[in-house]
Amino acid sequence: MKIFGIDLGTTNSCISVCENGEVNVLENEEGLKTTPSVVSVRNKEWLIGDVAKRQLEANKNTVLSIKRLIGSDAKVELEGKEYRPEFISAKILKYLTSFANKKLKENIIDVIITVPAHFNDRQRKATKLAGEIAGLRVLRLVNEPTAAALSYGIKPDNKGQNILVFDLGGGTFDISILEVDNNDFEVIATGGDNSLGGDDWDNVIVEILKKHCLEELKIEKIDRSMQVRLKVAAEKAKKELSSSLSTKINVPFIAIVNNEPVHIDYDLERSTFEKLSFELMKKVEQILIEVLKESKKTTESIDKVVLAGGSTRMVMVKDFLEKFFGREKISFSLNVDEAISIGAAILGDSIYNEKSSSEIMLMDVTPISLGTSLAEDKYDILIPKNTSIPISITKEYTTAKDFMDEIEIDIRQGEDQIASNNKLIAHFALKKIQKAESGTPKISCTFKIDVDGILHASATDLSTNASKTIVVENYLDIDENEKKSLIKDFSKNK
């Protein structure tokens, strides 16, 4: 049984498969092992990857960084029609598996998809839905830093090692600390920011160029076309500054001023870029310190720091980590663009392939606390942050008012003691409960998180045996009929 491991990234995606004990990172139609996570529509034709990115400037019906919207209520308009983020992500997944199957001369539909460790329940379910829309069987979701650790970690000398995975991608940032003993991987703590990644460093350079355009070149307004060209130039400059102390940014014919064409010809020093990126690096440092604190580990007790995500190539990131942990602890052995996909493929082969040579024991954690609302807006946590999953926790509650015949149960994610300050991810009503004075009914409430990090919740009145169980997916506002409609619509939009 062959299974694809897919890194569905914000800016780039990657697909791998295990064959005869070896991982094969599959090249796309351009001969590249990473594919831009860019989707475009041109005259009702869907374009994905490199071809979509190349016509970014000319075609406004082009979507970048859709991962930052997945699980939200946002819609994307392309050629006058609105699409859910899950639909756009499904296009990327379908493209990846199509070229991979073509190369392998197979028809593999079983996949493991990676997600940021800090993705909430809704974002995880939306990612799984994207796979289903694409006609794939999503066997499991795995956290990206955990997948990177799997890619790094199956080695005979990994006995009782503490590994910190530092995963800075195009749109998300994750840190996980794992205890690794041969093929046993236990995540101790995780943290991150779903809105912090290489795109934000690109935007630092974009703002420099905007200021240059408005103040030096006397351009009155930055339109969409100019914004796109600045973004492309900024990304290129950022990459060049990873190997050079300075770079020259050239953007010809950026605008017309006083009936004359003007061009960007700008010298950017790495030191300037790093100075203006100070606040971003401060965020990175704060998250790192917090995860170390939660793991009860010190910098001295970390044996290896494993890098993943293309943004770890920035010199300021490497310098920061070397200063924080010491150069000897930083591992540069992985291809940071491919490591996460490779880890997912390794996990799939280990779990689902009976002939696999490696048997991996993986224990991940939930990244955000889960709880429920109580009277007076109090928040009661059932499953604390960094609890190993899968997990099931049951607590007993009662009524706050006399003779209630039903009770509303909120499900929230967050760390604040005030319930309303935490994210509401679902709610349901338990009806036909015991009608009695407040404090008399006994309501048993169970939260269960599966291996994908998806929550199942149930409540039972211990007197009447009235019960209600939900899988927290309805908060995506998609019922089975709409799901079928999305899949049908997807199959029409080739």
How far apart, in whole angstroms, are the C-alpha atoms of residue 301 and residue 354? 36
DSSP for 179-235, please give it: EEETTEEEEEEEEEETT-SHHHHHHHHHHHHHHIIIIIS--S---HHHHHHHHHHHH
Spatial separation of the C-alpha atoms in residues 228 and 305, rounded to whole Å: 35
pTM, 2 dp = 0.88
Containing 324, the helix (H) or strand (E) segment is: helix 315-325
Q: Is the pLDDT of residue 299 over 50?
A: yes
What is the CB neighbour count within 10 angstroms for residue 58?
11
Q: pLDDT category, 156, cuts 50, 70, 90? A: low
The pLDDT assigned to 453 comes to 83
CATH architecture group of domain 198-276: Alpha-Beta Complex (3.90)
Q: What is the mean pLDDT of residues 397-425?
A: 90
What's the gap between Cα 398 and its chain centre?
Answer: 37
Q: Is the peptide bond before 390 cis (omega within 30 degrees of 0)?
A: yes
Q: What is the pLDDT, as a whole number, of residue 382?
A: 95
- Give the confidence band of 242 by pLDDT, cuts at 50, 70, 90: very high
CA distance 277 to 476: 35
Q: Identify the band that residue 354 occupies on the pLDDT scale cut at 50, 70 and 90.
A: low
Q: What Rg value do the Cα atoms of the chain yield, rounded? A: 24
80-106 pLDDT per residue, tens: 999 999 999 999 999 999 999 999 999
Q: How confident is the model at residue 455 (pLDDT cuts 50, 70, 90)?
A: confident
Phi, psi at residue 460, to the nearest 5°? -140, 135
Instruction: Give the class (CATH, top level) of 370-476.
Output: mainly beta
Angle at 15 between CA 9 and CA 17, to 5 degrees: 145
Whether the CB-CB separation of 213 and 245 falls below 8 Å is answered with no
Contacts of 228 (CB under 8 A, 6+ apart): 56, 57
Q: What is the average per-residue pLDDT within 191-203?
A: 95
**Mean pLDDT lowest among 257-261, 299-303, 310-314:** 257-261
The per-residue pLDDT for 474 is 45
Checking if the pLDDT of 332 tops 70, the result is yes
Q: State the pLDDT at residue 57.
A: 86
Which are the catalytic amino acids? 7, 67, 144, 167
pLDDT in tens, 36-75: 999 999 999 999 999 999 988 889 999 999 999 999 889 9
Cα 145 from chain centroid? 10
Predicted local confidence at residue 472, as pLDDT: 66
**Average of pLDDT values for 159-188?**
91
Whole-angstrom distance, CA of residue 429 vs CA of residue 413: 18
> What is the model's pLDDT at position 158?
63
pLDDT value of position 367: 86
Given pLDDT bands bounded at 50, 70 and 90, which one contains residue 393? Answer: very high
- Categorize the per-residue pLDDT at 477 as very low, low, confident or very high, splitting at 50, 70 and 90: low
Query: How many angstroms separate the CA atoms of 39 and 459, rounded?
Result: 42
CATH code at 4-196+281-365: 3.30.420.40
What is the rounded CA–CA span in Å between residue 205 and residue 81? 33
Beta bridge partners of 189: 177
Hey, where are the domains in the chain?
4-196+281-365, 198-276, 370-476
Structure tokens at 12: 């780039």
Q: Are 192 and 164 in contact (CB under 8 A)?
A: no
Higher pLDDT, 360 or 47: 47
Q: Judge whether residue 135 has pLDDT over 50.
A: yes
Report the chain's mean pLDDT, rounded to a whole number. Answer: 91
